[in-house]
Structure 1
Amino acid sequence: MTDFLTNSTYQVYDSSISALKTQTYSHFALGDALIRQVNTEDIPAIIHFWPIDQMIILGMMDTKLPYLDEGVSFLKNEGYQVCVRPAGGLAVVADPGIINFSLILQEPANSKVSIDAGYEVMLRLIQKVLAPYNEEIKAYEIEDSYCPGKFDLSIDGKKFAGIAQRRFKKGIAIMIYLSVEGNQQRRGELIQTLYEKGMRGEETRWKYPAVNPDSMANLSDLLGVSLTVPQIKEMVLTALKEEENRLIEGNYTAELMTEYQSAYDKMEKRNIQTFGN
């Protein structure tokens, strides 16, 4: 099994300092373009940071809510943009207190990386990043959190991060949202209300979580220290360097930008079909 976290070369992309950041779907489109880039070029690994201000990111299953319009109207009235992402999972909150980043890896030519093995890569990285705090990081589903999944990351039963994956051919993106600081209770209440308004108590063929805002917490609160998103970013990069990885600045090549524009157009079309213009 390939150890993606040791002795590799990572290209580093940060959407927060990119000229693309003013475009609504730029983070997701660039993410898809980078998966295709790592899949086709001699680039073994990429790390992509994509912080977002005030957005509720829906999964495709959320678009099946019987009263989706009411839920989306509520979120917009609360000051949030709403979009549907291309990856799986359910609704999550993005705001300045949450860090989103992806490990984008090239699958070895003669082996298959399982879904769980992909998640384990991110789990090991987060465990290394947080090792100085001597807290046990567990990975299991927190059923009453928003966007629950098998690899929810928690401390003392409180979820602080969730992980998703997206794949094209031999390219794998392992994406994490990690609640660092801010009002996590409020985030949970937003998604709780989204489902209340979007379902109105109706039975559906799709299972949506009965969100309990108390099921999640910020990493700062769980560790009892003041942490910021920029600090976590630097801790992640430091953890990679300590494992003898080489970090180089990502290059926005013409080929990458062609893939980006294609992915952006698809993302825009999907959202117009869901919400209208």
Structure 2
Amino acid sequence: MNVGPFDREAAIRPKMRTDLRFFPWESKCYNSGMMVAKPMEEPQDRRPPGPGLLLSDAALAFAAERRLAERIAGGGPTAVFVWTAPPTFVFGAQDVKETAGRRAARQVLAEYRAAGLVRPSGGRLVPIDPGVVNLAWIGPTRGPLATIEGAFRWAAERLQDFFRRFGLSVAFGEVEGAFCPGRYDGAVFGKKIVGLAQRRWRGAAAVEAFVLVAGTGAERAERAAAFYRLAGGPVVRPERMGALAEWRDLKDEVGIRAAAAALLSAFVAGTDECVRAGTLSAVLGPDGVSALHPFVRALVAESRARLGLGGAEGGAGG
């Protein structure tokens, strides 16, 4: 496949209905074809941990989804944000259901000096780090989110738009040997580079996506493979995983930010409904982030219990 050079400036320019430039830290609302943009403060992602575009804590992101779902079920607007985190093993509930899985989880967390979390959505283990850009789109259970299958198809279309901005084509379908396999794996040149998951509540739903941007897919696959060698489970083949940086110049912080902005833009530009997008402080309001603390504590406590940390199995914490 012959593609042209990657243009970073083009990557962060969305397809808008107006001539206003898109900034990922602005708050935007589409309504009847009109856009209202409120410039926000300087992006806070350079001062982790914090409520900026790029989060430093996966638990905070999942807690935000739940809080936003409550607002949306009560009539609030759709919301979307993107985030990254330090090295974290985000386990699926199935991964740590048995004693062998919990023991293996504690071992790899210690070996890789990583955080551990059991995510509340479906799927299997996903090792993330600052080079993995994650997106959460939370909205009412109508339109594109009315059904599980419809939500997956809609998100896949938005991701196709995202990859087109980098001159790449993505194919959807389960990639054998990839970690967290599913029918909506997104692959570039046969290597999985993106995954999708969903969470659903009464009146609201969330679509989650992770995109491997910097680094390589193989190094992350090896982390997952190390866990499954100990726990038993699916065979993960490092050669079946990829990352955007393997084909485009997205190896540093600037590249990761450009990918995050392009991902957010592809989703926001693909809908006509009212959407609040940007930093969590913009979406949740000045006091909204501190209001997440009870949700974070509950998720962390549940994860520790599922991982056998500090409980009856006597895990060593971490």
- Secondary structure of 1:53 counterpart: coil
Structure 1 position 172, deviation (Å): 1.1
Task: Answer yes or no: is 1:271 the counterpart of 2:303.
Answer: yes
Cα separation, 1, equivalents of 2:109 and 2:36: 36
1:105-146 C-alpha deviation (Å, 9 max, x unpaired): 11239x971111111221111111222444331110113111
Cα separation, 2, equivalents of 1:244 and 1:113: 14
Task: Answer yes or no: is 1:87 the counterpart of 2:112.
Answer: no
Q: Residues 11 and 47 from structure 1, CA distance in 2 versus in 1: closer, same or farther, beyond 3 angstroms?
A: farther
Structure 1 position 255, deviation (Å): 7.1
Structure 1 position 11, deviation (Å): 10
1:37 maps to amino acid: R
Task: Answer yes or no: is 1:108 the counterpart of 2:145.
Answer: no
Q: Residues 211 and 29 from structure 1, CA distance in 2 versus in 1: closer, same or farther, beyond 3 angstroms?
A: same
Q: Residues 115 and 271 from structure 1, CA distance in 2 versus in 1: closer, same or farther, beyond 3 angstroms?
A: same
Q: Which residue pairs with 2:235 in the alignment? A: 210
Q: Which residue pairs with 1:234 in the alignment? A: 261
Task: Answer yes or no: is 1:142 the counterpart of 2:175.
Answer: yes
1:213-232 C-alpha deviation (Å, 9 max, x unpaired): 111100222xx221222111
Q: Residues 182 and 230 from structure 1, CA distance in 2 versus in 1: closer, same or farther, beyond 3 angstroms?
A: same
Task: Answer yes or no: is 1:99 the counterpart of 2:99.
Answer: no
Cα separation, 2, equivalents of 1:123 and 1:265: 32
Cα separation, 2, equivalents of 1:24 and 1:121: 24
1:184 maps to amino acid: G
Cα separation, 2, equivalents of 1:59 and 1:214: 22
Structure 1 position 19, deviation (Å): 3.4
Answer whether contact 2:215 2:245 (CA < 8 A) is retained.
Answer: no
Answer whether contact 1:164 1:176 (CA < 8 A) is retained.
Answer: yes
Cα separation, 2, equivalents of 1:257 and 1:190: 33
Q: Which residue pairs with 1:168 in the alignment? A: 201
1:268 maps to amino acid: V
Answer whether contact 1:31 1:48 (CA < 8 A) is retained.
Answer: no
Q: Residues 253 and 107 from structure 1, CA distance in 2 versus in 1: closer, same or farther, beyond 3 angstroms?
A: farther
Answer whether contact 2:89 2:115 (CA < 8 A) is retained.
Answer: yes
Cα separation, 2, equivalents of 1:120 and 1:101: 16
Q: Residues 22 and 132 from structure 1, CA distance in 2 versus in 1: closer, same or farther, beyond 3 angstroms?
A: closer
Structure 1 position 10, deviation (Å): 10
Cα separation, 2, equivalents of 1:121 and 1:10: 24
Task: Give me the identity figure in percent.
Answer: 19
CA RMSD of aligned residues (A): 3.1
- Secondary structure of 2:235 counterpart: coil
Cα separation, 2, equivalents of 1:116 and 1:198: 31
1:59-82 C-alpha deviation (Å, 9 max, x unpaired): 100112442313421232212111
1:28-78 C-alpha deviation (Å, 9 max, x unpaired): 2112111222221331x1112121111010010011244231342123221
Cα separation, 1, equivalents of 2:191 and 2:259: 19
If the length of structure 2 is used for normalisation, what is the TM-score? 0.72
1:78-98 C-alpha deviation (Å, 9 max, x unpaired): 121111111111100110111
1:132-165 C-alpha deviation (Å, 9 max, x unpaired): 4443311101131110011000122110010000
1:229-265 C-alpha deviation (Å, 9 max, x unpaired): 211122134435655766553133667754x344223
Count of residues paired in the alignment = 259
Segment of structure 1 superposing worse, 240-249 or 169-178 = 240-249
Q: Which runs of 4+ in 1 moved over 6 A?
A: 9-15
Answer whether contact 2:131 2:256 (CA < 8 A) is retained.
Answer: yes
Cα separation, 1, equivalents of 2:204 and 2:90: 23
- Unaligned 5+ residue runs, structure 2? 1-28, 311-318
Matching residue within 155, 178, 190 for 2:223: 190
Q: Which residue pairs with 2:61 in the alignment? A: 27
Cα separation, 1, equivalents of 2:37 and 2:223: 35
Segment of structure 1 superposing worse, 158-167 or 128-137 = 128-137
Task: Answer yes or no: is 1:74 the counterpart of 2:108.
Answer: yes
